[in-house]
Structure 1
Amino acid sequence: MLTNAFNRRAVRASLLVFACGALFTGSTSFCFRHSFNNYSIVIDKSDYELNVYDSKGWLIAYPVVFGSNDQHDKFWEGDRRTPDGHFRIVSKRVHEKWDRFMMLDYPTPENIALFNARKSRGLIPASARIGGGIGIHGTWPHEDYAIDRYQNWTMGCISMKNEDVEALYRYIPVGTSVTIQP
């Protein structure tokens, strides 16, 4: 019996390694970080929506709010704007103020290049910093009404109703692609 169970596990492991080998890109971690994540998120600032997609297409939409009423791209730390671009969720944690927090990899190399170009053209104060700490999170306790009223209140993050962020947190893994568009 033990031999048969061991053999089944060995066969399954071999199939997994074979499947990952078929996707080989030069990094063995690529297979495990990306090939089993069927989800992606698209956040549309103009529609105040966070849309979740899986391998079959659109799955669900959640209402969201942002930092500033100014829906343009984030320029510098403290401008309260939400950045545009392509990001990944790099960590998840329970948050003491905002229920759940899913950290994005902002700033990306593209964000840094754009920040430096804007700074060199004088569009950003010389003393400005790019910032960080952008993520998807809930609201203060009992303040989900801010989402219903489209009240932008964050410092640049994406805020959801607490029950929505809890649902998203349960099934969206670290590594999920997040696109934020105007």
Structure 2
Amino acid sequence: MTILNRRHAALGLIAALAACGGPKSGTRTADIPQFKRYSGPPVTQVVVQKGQRRMHLLSGQTVLKSYDFGLGNQPVGHKQFEGDGKTPEGQYFVDRFNPRSRYHLSVGISYPNERDKAYAAQFGLNAGGDIMFHGRGPEGRVLAPKNRDWTAGCIAMTDQEIEDVYAMLQLGTPVMIYG
């Protein structure tokens, strides 16, 4: 590689790194999500009890935090098909984080698993997807006061609570959802 090519490569790398830096010019500070930090014991499991509308974040056998929540608009039973308004039951995992969710923040759950997909496929239907823990955001603030169970199958809590959950969970954390 010649000196000129090395310089161009170095300048290209510097330009690329600079583009990954702070906010774009003209971006308001209010448009950038602010994140809480968590430095306590690791969350090793999330236990969701749909019937009691109670979620527990555990480290081993110790409950670190507990939250009340709302469910899908058809809260009884396991989610089987896209659009059924149910929240899944079973073992899943945290599989993604969305800092720009329309519901403030959201944490993805690995629904549907292979068993869920196979069940729906027997009926020629889709199992659905995009099941999340999320806040209310503007839309939820309108819907939640009218009906505790207002989501399409997600687990919804206040915006302040999802900020805690978002900070405490890691990719791969097991999520047990009970009926």
Give the TM-score of the pair, scaled to structure 1: 0.68
Deviation at 1:70, TM superposition (A): 3.5
The CA distance in 1 between the partners of 2:43 and 2:150, in whole Å, is 31
Deviation at 1:43, TM superposition (A): 0.6
Counterpart of 1:71? 76
The number of residue pairs the alignment matches comes to 138
Deviation at 1:83, TM superposition (A): 0.8
Are 1:179 and 2:153 an aligned pair? Answer: no
Task: Note if contact 2:75-2:149 (Cα within 8 Å) is conserved in structure 1.
Answer: no
Q: 1:138 to 1:38 in 2, by over 3 A?
A: closer
The CA distance in 2 between the partners of 1:159 and 1:167, in whole Å, is 13
The CA distance in 2 between the partners of 1:97 and 1:38, in whole Å, is 25
Give the TM-score of the pair, scaled to structure 2: 0.69
The CA distance in 2 between the partners of 1:144 and 1:138, in whole Å, is 12
Q: Secondary structure at the match of 1:114?
A: helix
The CA distance in 1 between the partners of 2:178 and 2:147, in whole Å, is 17
Equivalent of 1:146 in 144, 147, 157: 144
Equivalent of 1:129 in 126, 131, 136: 126
Unaligned regions of 5+ residues in structure 1, if any? 1-35, 120-125
Task: Note if contact 1:135-1:158 (Cα within 8 Å) is conserved in structure 2.
Answer: yes
Q: What is the correspondence of 1:1-182 to structure 2 with a 5 Å cutoff?
A: 38-116=43-121, 119=123, 126=124, 128-141=125-138, 143=141, 146=144, 151-182=148-179
Q: 1:88 to 1:60 in 2, by over 3 A?
A: same
Q: Secondary structure at the match of 2:111?
A: coil
Task: Note if contact 1:144-1:162 (Cα within 8 Å) is conserved in structure 2.
Answer: no
Unaligned regions of 5+ residues in structure 2, if any? 1-40
Q: Secondary structure at the match of 1:95?
A: coil
Amino acid at match of 1:75: Q
Counterpart of 1:13? none
What do residues 98-140 of structure 1 show as CA deviations (whole Å, max 9, x unaligned)?
Answer: 11111111111122233345x2xxxxxx4x3111111111002
Deviation at 1:144, TM superposition (A): 8.8
What do residues 39-88 of structure 1 show as CA deviations (whole Å, max 9, x unaligned)?
Answer: 21011110001111102422221011111244111120001100111111
Q: Secondary structure at the match of 2:96?
A: strand
Task: Note if contact 1:144-1:161 (Cα within 8 Å) is conserved in structure 2.
Answer: no
Counterpart of 2:8? none
Indicate the RMSD between aligned Cα atoms, in angstroms: 2.3
Amino acid at match of 2:144: A
